[in-house]
Amino acid sequence: MEKVFLPVVGDKVLIFELEDVKKLRHLGIVGVLSGTLSAAPQQNVFLGLPLQLSLEDVIWLVTNEHGILIDSAKYHEVEAAMLNQADWNSSQRICVHDPKQDEELLKKLAKMNLSDDKLILKKKQLQENKVENFIIIPNVTPLPNIDSYTIPLDKFLSLSNHHELISNYQVYRSVKDQGFFILPGIRFGGKYIGYPNDPLRYHAHFIINQATDFKLIDLVAGGRLATGVKKVWVIVGEHSTPDSPKKVEGKKRDAVEVDVDQTEPQPDIVDQLTKESKLKSFSIEWAGFG
């Protein structure tokens, strides 16, 4: 299968192409729909495209060679530079500014009985917000010169702050590689929630946590909550023998500017993410007696 384009917008990967969402789903990557309607952004019960992927999803896709990170802004620059007259003339891809809309807005303004000052201000705003002609560029067509707009994984990871990413990702990978689907776990008070298959067809089975630094009260609280919602509370962690070296956690980084070129890559983070790890997992639930 061709690698899925993972467009980086700001410090997030946002998938705008429905076909790519389908491809990812077949790979067991669900993501979270995050788009609202531009006309009603407060409507957030039913969200749509773009699909936002978690850092762990992105790392899994890239290191397993299912996806390739692309700098969305640069990609669009490259594509725009390649457009020829035929593209400009193709009505499917070009949205032309409609002057009639401006006239209607001006008419509405005139009816509002605004003071002169306000009217001038409103007209100025209208002028500033005017949408010029623009082109719809698909996010998926591979263009020549691919190196000019791809982003290596370490650069992408240096764009955002993350906490315990390496150990979290090892937990994520060990669960995912057993065939489970994974979503963010905050809804059930965990790090991840695990599904036996596609979440549209199955209820979640597991509330997954990293097994570092947890107390007995966490086991009771987590186990009791999980059992109450017909799930199990899973802990996953490294089972180190006494003489095995302490693993090195990735350096925490301060938030950096989004400009990709100005950030220095973390040289060894990808190695740390992909190194083999033997993790133990245990599933906890209330015993139902006592």
DSSP string, 164-230: SHHHHHHHHHHHHTTT-EEEE-GGGTSSEEEESS-TTTS---EEEEE-SS--HHHHHHHHHHHHHTT
Contact 139/75 with Cβ under 8 angstroms? Answer: yes
Could you say which of 86, 112, 200, 217 contacts another protein (CB under 8 A)? Answer: 217
- CA–CA dist 122, 37 (Å, integer): 24
Which of 154, 159, 16, 34 lies closest to 76 in space, CA to CA?
A: 16
231 is annotated as an active-site residue: yes
Could you say which of 26, 187, 230, 252 contacts another protein (CB under 8 A)? Answer: 230
Residue 96: other Cβ atoms inside 10 A:
11
Is 273 an interacting residue with respect to another protein (CB under 8 A)?
Answer: no
Is 278 an interacting residue with respect to another protein (CB under 8 A)?
Answer: no
CA atoms within 13 A on the CB side of 53: 26
Is 223 an interacting residue with respect to another protein (CB under 8 A)?
Answer: yes
Is 280 an interacting residue with respect to another protein (CB under 8 A)?
Answer: yes
Scanning 16-24, 136-144, 206-214, 258-266 for contacts with another protein by CB under 8 A, the matching segment is 206-214
Restricting to residues 98-137, name those near another protein by CB under 8 A: none
Is 231 an interacting residue with respect to another protein (CB under 8 A)?
Answer: yes
Could you say which of 6, 175, 183, 273 contacts another protein (CB under 8 A)? Answer: 175
For binding to another protein (CB under 8 A), which residues are involved? Answer: 175, 178, 180, 194, 196, 205-206, 211, 214-217, 219-220, 223, 226-227, 230-232, 234-235, 237-240, 280-290
